[in-house]
Structure 1
Amino acid sequence: MSRLSFALVWHMHQPYYKDLITGEYVMPWARLHATKDYYDMAAILDKFPQAKMTFNLVPSLLDQLEDYCENEVSDKFLSLTKRDPGDLNVNERVFLLQNFFMANWETMIKPYPRYHELLLKRGRFIAGKEISSVARRFSSQEILDLQVWFNLTWFGFISKNEDSVVSGLIKKGKYFDAGDKEELLKKQKEIMLKVIPKYRELMERGQIELTTTPFYHPILPLLCDTDSALEAMPHARLPKFRFRHPEDAEEQVRLAVEYHEKKFGVKPEGMWPSEGSVSEELLPILAKYGIKWIASDEGILKNSLGNFNPAAEQLFCPYQLNHSISMIFRNHFISDQVGFVYQSWRAEDAVANFFSHLRNIEQSLPQNGHYLVPVILDGENAWEYYQNGGKEFFETLYAGMENSPIKGVTVSEYLKRHPAEKKIKRLFAGSWIGSNFAVWIGHQEDNLAWDYLYQAKNELEKSEKKDNPVARRELFIAEGSDWCWWYGDQHSSENDAVFDELFRKHLKNIYLSIGEPPPHYLDLPIKRVTEVKPLREPSFLIHPVLDGEMPFYYEWLSAGCYDIRRAGGAMHQAATMMRRIYYGFDLSNLYLQFVVDLDLFGEEAGEFSFVAATFSPGEYKAQIMMKEGRYVFELFRHEGEGKKRWKSVKKLDSFGVKHIIEFGIPFEDLGVKGGDRIEFAVMIYKGNLELERWPKSGMITVTAPKEGYELEQWIV
């Protein structure tokens, strides 16, 4: 048996989508993930009884699932699914066409001919102004089939293969009737009812460990004290008001532990603090409620040790913290391989690679002792990018776990056998993202959200109705991490405005619940147009060959990258044509590359134009489009203040279109000098209608290099 073990920890979480005043859920994702990932991830383990792992179940997620199962609650998606297609007005049909293809096209729509046919009839890429006329062309039967398919595709591989109702509807494929739809929704609720009992069953037979997170998924260190952000971000600009409420942090922990015990019969020993966010101040709170171990990213370990290149035996072991709490640290590389890389691999190759990394780690360790590799990631968001919802990957991985000498373990099981020996004197305050709290505080939008929360909290505490249960619950919901996830420049999605409105709605409900009018500023969006942070910034000069071929690895290696999926974080978005935007420069030119989901010489290609628009220092747009079977590249300049007229500057030949789109624009033609800050966005047009804009709100920025740039970079 190996001296190395690994701990899979699947983190299950959804934002709290319910408006407590109206009783309606604004998004359907807790419901839809229940019939797919939440059930499948547990039920598949019946086939692999020796595969051990840990599931972190966030109480606010389980609360939403119970609400759907036990009460007559709904969301707009479900309400419109239930409606007779003949009774839907044009706006309701438009909603269906805009939202009922919100699934991964490659893995969840294209495999089903009727669903794919409906997508093609709507148009794979359609501008907002077109959709009303398109909606009128859909028959009632087509709308009914769309209602069924949207819910049907969100069933997991176990139901699709083993349940007669689900598999029967898939086989039928089209021309569904009202009875089919009713039967499907009944099955949806039936599976939702199985989710929590299934996890309890697996826990009781010793195959899995169940852990928790503070109830509404708050960033505990920031609830304790927003100034804790300064440890990792000493120059950060923090909110106007210092939020300092450790009593709220404690209440979120208490509620989570009590809820977990009520549902599963035992108190949780472990906790994944929301977003792996930790600080020294929260340790006595966790200890008070019996938490024995917590986890975060390996970056927190390195900062806590003050050693950014620790030996393997320092990385792959648990640590003892103050207050007798143990801590493990996720292996960043392997966790991200599962979350973002293996989706495009054959299952056998992915699992072979997974265990190969573990064996390499084992070989780097001393011959004596016992070691642990934590692999921790979202348990629901990656699988729609895998074929068959990850079925083959899970089956191959779990079979490998049963047969490998490197065993999977639950975290508590490992700690009981091999208690933490190494100690951390003081835990560094940070999260699993960048070892800091920059996603949730420091940006103008984040800070404004914290100030609004501070003022609502103060108003509640001053009120004679401060113990109003709805008001207090709304406060704890508003303290959740999900709202600030979408503020600032790190993440954006189709639903930014929905999240912004829902956060402000929760704050308004605090005031309404205590009989006070909400402040007028809560009617105004917090989300504004801002500079957007890319996945990767340009790091050096590039000299690409502009031929439209998939580039040689090093051509764009030093370029910046804006990845559409990563920019969205863990949020469901409608499928997009644009996948990635690369940008970089040499001393004379700005270069861009677009990776798109389109056959650039197919039948549809002539309908679209691709534009890079600069807003500073001058307003220009570089446009690539097909004319008479050939692509042309033209630069336009905005003429006159307030005029909606563009003047052609010149046609350029510094471009290539084949598998990708890539082009270069001379800085001279853009009126750009070395040191100038360029702000730009990328658009796709269908005719004159804007189809996509990236970033959704805001600009990508880049600074034009000066002479001597290369020497400066080498010196740095």
Structure 2
Amino acid sequence: MSNKLNIAFVWHMHQPIYKDPITQEYIMPWVLLHGTKDYYDMAAILEEFPEIHQTFNMVPSLVEQIEEYASGTALDKFRTVAQKSAADLTDEERVFILTNFFHSNWENMIRPMARYWELLKKRGVSNSPDEIRASLRYYTESDFTDLQVLFNLVWIDPTLVEADEFLKGLRAKGRGFTEKEKLCLLEKQVEIVGKILPKYADLMERGIIEVSTTPYFHPIMPLLFDSDSARTAMPHSTLPKNRFTHPEDVDTQIGLAVKSYTDTFGTAPVGMWPSEGSVSIDVLPMIASHGLKWIATDEEILSHTLKRPIRRDGSGNSCDSFLYRPYEFESEGNKLSIIFRDHTLSDLIGFDYAKMSPEAATDDFISRLGHIHNMVDNPEAHIVSIILDGENAWETYANDGRDFLTCLYTRLTNDNRFRSVTVSEFLNATEHKDKLEWIWPGSWIGHDFHVWIGHHEDNTAWDYIFEARRTLVEYVEEVEREEAAGADSGEIEKKRGAIKAAWTSIYAAEGSDWFWWYGDEHSSMNDSDFDTLFRQYVKSVYTNIGAPAPISLDIPIISAEKGIRPISTPTVYLDPVIDGEMTNYFEWLASGELHRGFKGSSMHKEIETGFLIDYIAYGFSKERLFFRLDYMDEKLPYDKEWKLHISLISPVELRIEAVVNGPEAVFTVMKRTEEDGQWATEAIVHEIASKNVVEMAIPLNLLTGTEEAKELHLFIDIDAGKDGILRWPSKGFYIFDVPDENFELENWIV
């Protein structure tokens, strides 16, 4: 026995449906851009490491979009404006380019290209429509040609650029591009996307990868089966007005996925990643009935199913081997194997290792695998499942993650403690699987469904689908009655075509992505676009069958401003020394953490950090609210004056204005006067210090007023002078829970 621990990477490849069902235009370009930057090279790199076997989960609706781009027939709003000669661009198109063609990671994709960075600085960091329109006068025709080229060029994987003489030459040239070069670049994009699916098929044939699938339009299957399944994990949530119970839609979505996979790869799929890892006891038999042999979901689902916590040490290493065992569910003679995702290992790759050198990140990862190898009694019978988005993390890594993956795959190849396997390779070689009679209903986020149901925006969307579906079913029944009465066969056939198109719109509207952006949990630069697309799909149900669409479908569901909770919250009272330094390791250890983007958001945001501030921590004592602001790496602007504005919305309206000038700092608390509504100084506070970090303490009684406030609602602006102003969060406001007398008791960790 080799005693090797099995390591299974499952890269989940997915993008929402970006095609407007009415105009047939792609309103966002991310399938194309991830196609040139991620989908091809993530698989192709394995040819350099033939012993590293992996699983790629390809969502059928993504495959459909890839195929359309590969055919060259996709009508893409971004591509249309990129193809147009810069000399012929209208002002509206120029505004569109300046608004959207900097949607690349600023540090890793824009800054390394001097010309691209120059063009961004000319626009400034603000994405305000008024400011962008005002900046038009600074841009020349040549600027717009270069911007059209650079945006599309940086979204091609560096390895592919290096291997192609034309692309390599463009990158070396850097500026002054011609229209001919631009159009050739756009053709190269189509060429690259056309290689994606053949490469996957080739690697599958050679046994290097396995390709799994997901229900066609990426729906949350348990909620389609019965929306009340959310109540197990969310007993106090408000659910939609209409209970959604359509197991037949689950069956259809799985069936469409199996057909798509078979048409694409010439064989039926064996494995499935349920959309968002969402499972319930209702959907497992249905999955198995379609011939699928395995699924995967998150460790928290296993923990709640077995009613056993997954213990971890202070470094996040699991102390329980049962997480790494394969499990099996059986229904009507169909056996379905289930593996469970190691949450920590997956998230380290997705969110943390980008901040480390490839060598340090790999050392940490291999060390954690070594811990598991030593912990389990028989490594051969165990599998470590690392499951995460296969495309969204890499723009935060240097060199598109290539250096990290090369380092990691080299170490895994050379370490005889580990075997990198496809999921099916492991399961086919493993006879014993622990039996499951039941499974907890939930997803890979918080072991519940709160992201997709329960918020009034989510619930509104569910009710819109319910009503549209009911209208469609009534129309189907009417057509069936007409056919039975001997109606014209040609007319009936025409109506059946309309019905088929309407059902496709229903299934597309059932996709999880619309609900991802509804509610308080997530946001992107494109929230309104997603909202519009969802309503277009629901509206197209009505238009296909000639029924009037409700007026409500013309009104945005999404709220203009959202309150979001920090990605992590304080666990105990803090008592930091306000000296501008990390006085000791423990003074901020229990603090909360703020992110500019909404937590867990994986879509494309303009920027994650400002030109100055990289990180903001916060916490409370019984009398004060504390903030710590960390500068970006290698940026300690002792000679630079900048400003911090904290705007409190509730329970009282306040503005806190801090001026930082090197080591000198002071802040002023301002309040509107009742007489004329102007801002006036309420207090000047000196509890602020600036050295290696900026620390400040604000008296709570200034923030809560006379009321016994339970929450603070606020947002923060970092004013970097000529570099512009950046807002935290990028939209909406933070919600801080004000500690009460039970705060430390509730957060006590044994």
Fold shared, TM-score > 0.5 on shorter chain: yes
1:517 aligns with 2:548: yes
The corresponding residue for 1:664 is: 697
The corresponding residue for 2:578 is: 546
- Give, in whole Å, the separation in 1 of the partners of 2:742 and 2:412: 54
Find 1:495's aligned residue among 509, 526, 543.
526
- Give, in whole Å, the separation in 2 of the partners of 1:347 and 1:692: 30
- Give, in whole Å, the separation in 2 of the partners of 1:473 and 1:561: 42
- Give, in whole Å, the separation in 1 of the partners of 2:701 and 2:728: 25
Aligned CA distance change for structure 1 residues 43 and 688 (closer, same or farther; 3 Å): closer
1:633 aligns with 2:667: yes
Shift of 1:517: 2.1
Shift of 1:448: 1.3
- Letter of the structure 1 residue corresponding to residue 143 of structure 2: E
- Give, in whole Å, the separation in 2 of the partners of 1:60 and 1:488: 24
Is the Cα contact below 8 Å between 1:615 and 1:678 reproduced in 2?
no
- Give, in whole Å, the separation in 2 of the partners of 1:297 and 1:414: 18
1:364 aligns with 2:364: no
The corresponding residue for 1:319 is: 327
The corresponding residue for 2:145 is: 144
- Letter of the structure 2 residue corresponding to residue 386 of structure 1: Y
Deviates more, 1:127-136 or 1:705-714: 705-714
- Give, in whole Å, the separation in 1 of the partners of 2:509 and 2:372: 41
Is the Cα contact below 8 Å between 2:278 and 2:441 reproduced in 1?
yes
Shift of 1:556: 2.4
The corresponding residue for 1:78 is: 79
- Give, in whole Å, the separation in 2 of the partners of 1:428 and 1:560: 30
Is the Cα contact below 8 Å between 1:539 and 1:558 reproduced in 2?
yes
- Describe the SS at the equivalent of 2:285: helix
Find 2:647's aligned residue among 613, 631, 634.
613
1:555 aligns with 2:567: no
Find 1:340's aligned residue among 351, 357, 360.
351
- Describe the SS at the equivalent of 2:240: coil
Report Cα offsets for 1:299-333 as digits up to 9, x if no partner: 11111111114773311111011221000001111
Is the Cα contact below 8 Å between 2:597 and 2:730 reproduced in 1?
no
The corresponding residue for 2:627 is: 592
Deviates more, 1:662-671 or 1:237-246: 662-671
Is the Cα contact below 8 Å between 1:492 and 1:568 reproduced in 2?
no
- Letter of the structure 1 residue corresponding to residue 637 of structure 2: F
1:433 aligns with 2:468: no
Is the Cα contact below 8 Å between 1:347 and 1:396 reproduced in 2?
yes
- Give, in whole Å, the separation in 1 of the partners of 2:341 and 2:153: 35
Aligned CA distance change for structure 1 residues 435 and 162 (closer, same or farther; 3 Å): same
Shift of 1:602: 7.1
Report Cα offsets for 1:229-278 as digits up to 9, x if no partner: 11111222111110111111111100001100110011110000000000
1:402 aligns with 2:435: no
Aligned CA distance change for structure 1 residues 102 and 3 (closer, same or farther; 3 Å): same
Aligned CA distance change for structure 1 residues 129 and 685 (closer, same or farther; 3 Å): farther
Deviates more, 1:9-18 or 1:396-405: 396-405
Shift of 1:678: 3.3
1:90 aligns with 2:91: yes
The corresponding residue for 1:236 is: 237
Report Cα offsets for 1:64-123 as digits up to 9, x if no partner: 111112252222211111111111122221221121111111111111121122122222
The corresponding residue for 2:618 is: 583
Report Cα offsets for 1:556-614 as digits up to 9, x if no partner: 232222222452611101014265443221111122234465956378x54x5322222
- Letter of the structure 1 residue corresponding to residue 595 of structure 2: D
Report Cα offsets for 1:630-665 as digits up to 9, x if no partner: 543111112339x65211112211112344443221
- Give, in whole Å, the separation in 1 of the partners of 2:45 and 2:552: 48
The corresponding residue for 1:419 is: 431
- Give, in whole Å, the separation in 2 of the partners of 1:212 and 1:713: 40
Shift of 1:697: 4.8
Shift of 1:550: 5.1
Shift of 1:368: 7.7
- Give, in whole Å, the separation in 2 of the partners of 1:166 and 1:296: 40
Aligned CA distance change for structure 1 residues 691 and 392 (closer, same or farther; 3 Å): same
The corresponding residue for 1:123 is: 124
1:147-226 aligned within 5 A? 147-226=148-227
Aligned CA distance change for structure 1 residues 361 and 28 (closer, same or farther; 3 Å): same
Aligned CA distance change for structure 1 residues 168 and 654 (closer, same or farther; 3 Å): same
Is the Cα contact below 8 Å between 1:214 and 1:273 reproduced in 2?
yes
Find 1:480's aligned residue among 502, 508, 511.
511
The corresponding residue for 1:445 is: 457
The corresponding residue for 2:488 is: none
- Describe the SS at the equivalent of 1:407: strand
* Unaligned 5+ runs, structure 2: 312-318, 480-494
Is the Cα contact below 8 Å between 1:128 and 1:691 reproduced in 2?
no
Is the Cα contact below 8 Å between 1:684 and 1:690 reproduced in 2?
no
1:624 aligns with 2:636: no
- Describe the SS at the equivalent of 1:253: helix
- Give, in whole Å, the separation in 2 of the partners of 1:325 and 1:714: 40
- Letter of the structure 2 residue corresponding to residue 135 of structure 1: L
* Unaligned 5+ runs, structure 1: none
The corresponding residue for 1:535 is: 567
- Give, in whole Å, the separation in 1 of the partners of 2:549 and 2:638: 53
- Give, in whole Å, the separation in 2 of the partners of 1:232 and 1:377: 23
Shift of 1:427: 1.1
Find 2:637's aligned residue among 601, 604, 608.
601
- Give, in whole Å, the separation in 2 of the partners of 1:587 and 1:73: 58
- Give, in whole Å, the separation in 2 of the partners of 1:511 and 1:545: 62
The corresponding residue for 2:134 is: 133
Deviates more, 1:556-565 or 1:688-697: 688-697
Q: How many residue pairs were aligned?
A: 713
Deviates more, 1:247-256 or 1:438-447: 438-447
The corresponding residue for 1:250 is: 251
- Describe the SS at the equivalent of 1:11: strand
Is the Cα contact below 8 Å between 1:69 and 1:189 reproduced in 2?
yes
Deviates more, 1:68-77 or 1:486-495: 68-77
Is the Cα contact below 8 Å between 2:124 and 2:724 reproduced in 1?
no
1:676 aligns with 2:709: yes
Deviates more, 1:665-674 or 1:284-293: 665-674
- Describe the SS at the equivalent of 1:526: coil
- CA RMSD of superposed structures (Å): 2.5
Shift of 1:708: 7.4
The corresponding residue for 2:33 is: 32
- Give, in whole Å, the separation in 2 of the partners of 1:291 and 1:709: 47
Report Cα offsets for 1:17-58 as digits up to 9, x if no partner: 001210111110000000110011111122112211100001
When the two structures are superposed, what TM-score results if normalisation uses the length of structure 2?
Answer: 0.90
- Describe the SS at the equivalent of 1:295: strand
Is the Cα contact below 8 Å between 1:58 and 1:217 reproduced in 2?
yes
- Letter of the structure 1 residue corresponding to residue 580 of structure 2: G
Aligned CA distance change for structure 1 residues 494 and 152 (closer, same or farther; 3 Å): same
Aligned CA distance change for structure 1 residues 581 and 507 (closer, same or farther; 3 Å): farther
Aligned CA distance change for structure 1 residues 701 and 269 (closer, same or farther; 3 Å): same
Is the Cα contact below 8 Å between 1:681 and 1:695 reproduced in 2?
no
Deviates more, 1:245-254 or 1:68-77: 68-77
Aligned CA distance change for structure 1 residues 284 and 470 (closer, same or farther; 3 Å): same
Is the Cα contact below 8 Å between 1:493 and 1:568 reproduced in 2?
no
Identity, in percent, stands at 43
- Describe the SS at the equivalent of 2:388: strand
Is the Cα contact below 8 Å between 2:667 and 2:688 reproduced in 1?
yes
Report Cα offsets for 1:474-511 as digits up to 9, x if no partner: 11111011111111111122221121121112111111
- Give, in whole Å, the separation in 1 of the partners of 2:504 and 2:61: 11
- Give, in whole Å, the separation in 2 of the partners of 1:228 and 1:238: 10
Aligned CA distance change for structure 1 residues 596 and 510 (closer, same or farther; 3 Å): farther
